[in-house]
Amino acid sequence: MGTSGKMMSRGRPVGGSSTTRLMSTLPSVMVSMRPACSRAPGRRYPSHDCTGGYSRVMTIVGRERESAAVLGVTSGVLIVTGEPGAGKSTLLALAADRHQGRVLRMTGSESEANLPFAGLHQLLRPILDDAARLPARQRSALLGAIGAIGAEDTGPPDRLLLGVALLALLSDLAQRSPLLVLVDDLHWIDTGSLEALAFAARRIDGEPLAVLAGARDTTGAAAPAAFSGFPTLALGPLDASAAVQLLDRQPYPPTGGRRMRVLDQAAGNPLALVELARAYGTDGAYPAGDSTAEDLLPPTDRLMRLYAADLDALPEATRRALLLVAADERAVAGRIEALAPAEAAGLLRITGGGEARRARFRHPLIRSAIYHSVPLAARRQAHRDLAASLTGEPDRRAWHLAAAAEGPDEEIAAALEESASRARTRGGYTAAVTALERAAELSPAPHDRARRLVAAAREAVATGQPH
Ligand SMILES: Nc1ncnc2c1ncn2[C@@H]1O[C@H](COP(=O)(O)OP(=O)(O)OP(=O)(O)O)[C@@H](O)[C@H]1O
Ligand SMILES: [Mg+2]
């Protein structure tokens, strides 16, 4: 699995002196986000911003360097790569908004990924009239590929001729007015279209023709093979202050402990921040009490679809092992082999050795999506199985029993209370507070519950973190 860092080193440096100049002018960038649902050609904007209404203005937070880089590309190619929801489409929208000239678009979709020349069809539709200026053979090749004239007139597409024709057409347009070709969701554009565009893009020679693409890097490659070898800009997580800013711009930003959990779990992913704030904000849809193993917030449906997408393709044994390590990242012993396909798919890595060995998920939301991809009963069973295998580790065992509990249970509450006192002895006061609070929740008898709550409060005061 390619990490953002790898992507950066693979790509050539972007920007330059014009980049540096632009950076100073970009403290906060306003982008008008037009509706994505409009199917009108040349009107595709980020799908996550499909408001179905009229254009609205959003403010980009952070990303000064990246904004400068995309705005700095006036001739040539740049592929913006990143996790789902990292903000690729947002940066492309920024470039389109600021572009002084013509903008053409190609947006990949899963359903059209295998339709030959579907991408080219989108790109060419608004400029079919301009194609009339091409020499006859080039024009036929282009129009034939996209079905604008019958295949009987052209025969099977000649790839070289197609690339030449596309280059000729785009260069011709660029001479009339600076041209920006936006290719979003590159990973879903059909190969034929990508090959033709790559052919043309490799031959851009200083003319005002820029190709800006956005591609998910979940597959481990910066771009599909048919569109490889171009400079890339890897979008990492938002930095901490931008993440806080984005959270605070949401209609009902979460507060208190939830805020920390949202920030933690989103790990700088803008879509996750927006989505989790919507679900867990002060006006959020999710109830407060849905606490799970180590407080993994259930992802919203949209996040779930994004992050659990790769799971179905994995073998049953791998999915089972994934559930167990999602419930407990340290539970890797005896599961390395079963986890190998998930590791190969880039969902996680196994790090460390001995006591320190654990599963590290590529993103906290992948862990959370895996955990919540099965029903509650299956999650409880996973915790019971883990508890059964942890006889020599009473603290972890107690927590797994607590996660598996279906209601108050004195035995588990007592085990957690003991765990709290061991934590206190080791100086783990916060852990002691958490264990006592959970013990109180699981106490069947009111006086035990009260006693444990008082103990938790006393502990919290001692640590200077009263709730
Ligand atoms: N820098 C940013 N400032 C403010 N909001 C942002 C920023 N980056 C992304 N967003 C918001 O986060 C959400 C996801 O962004 P975007 O759609 O651009 O991600 P993406 O990388 O294109 O995702 P996908 O891989 O699913 O296409 C959107 O709601 C967008 O408005
Ligand atoms: Mg996008």
pLDDT, residue 26, reads: 39
> Could you tell me what percent of the chain has a pLDDT over 70?
81
- Mean pLDDT, residues 62-75 taken together: 96
**Ligand lying nearest the CA atom of residue 219:** 1
Residue 429 has pLDDT above 90, yes or no: no
Q: What is the CA radius of gyration of the chain?
A: 27
Residue located nearest, by CA, to atom 15 of ligand 1: 87
pLDDT tens digits, 149-172: 765 555 667 889 999 999 999 999
pLDDT at 294: 52
Ligand closest to CA 234: 1
- pLDDT, greater one: 69 or 21: 69
Its sign, for the CA torsion 232, 236, 242, 248, is: positive
Nearest one of 266, 291, 290, 233 to 79, comparing CA atoms: 233
pLDDT (0 to 100) of residue 460: 80
pLDDT category of residue 86 using cuts at 50, 70 and 90: very high
**130 burial type by CB count under 10 A (0-12 exposed, 13-18 middle, 19+ buried):** middle
Q: What's the confidence (pLDDT) of residue 251?
A: 84
| pLDDT over 70 at 390, yes or no | yes
CB atoms within 10 A of CB 445: 11
Q: What is the pLDDT of residue 345?
A: 85
Give how far the C-alpha of residue 228 lies from the chain's centroid of Cα atoms, to the nearest Å.
Answer: 21
162 CB near ligand 1 (under 6 Å): no
Whole-number Å distance, alpha carbon 46 to ligand 1 midpoint, is: 8
Q: Alpha-carbon distance 75 to 3, whole Å?
A: 27
Q: How confident is the model at residue 21 (pLDDT cuts 50, 70, 90)?
A: very low
pLDDT at position 217 = 80
User: Which of these, 94, 72, 92, lies nearest to 82 by C-alpha position?
Assistant: 92
- Which residues on neighbouring strands pair with residue 179, listed in sequence order? 102, 209
Q: How confident is the model at residue 461 (pLDDT cuts 50, 70, 90)?
A: confident
Give me the pLDDT at residue 47, please. Answer: 35
- Read off the tokens for 346: 């880039």
Position in ligand 1 atom list of the atom nearest CA 270: 12
Q: CB within 5 A of ion ligand 2: which residues?
A: 88-89
pLDDT at 82: 92
- Is the predicted pLDDT of residue 57 greater than 60, yes or no? no
Poorest-pLDDT segment among 74-78, 112-116, 182-186, 440-444: 112-116
- Looking at all shown ligands, the one closest to residue 242's CA atom is 1
pLDDT over 80 (residue 368): yes
pLDDT tens digit sequence for 117-128? 889 999 998 999
Cα 49 to averaged position of ligand 2 atoms, centre (Å): 10
- As a whole number of angstroms, the distance between CA 4 and CA 1 comes to 10
Question: Is 286 or 201 the better-scoring residue by pLDDT?
Answer: 201
34 in Cβ contact with 55 (< 8 Å): yes
With a 6 Å cutoff on the Cβ, whether 216 touches ligand 1 is yes
Residue 328 has pLDDT above 60, yes or no: yes
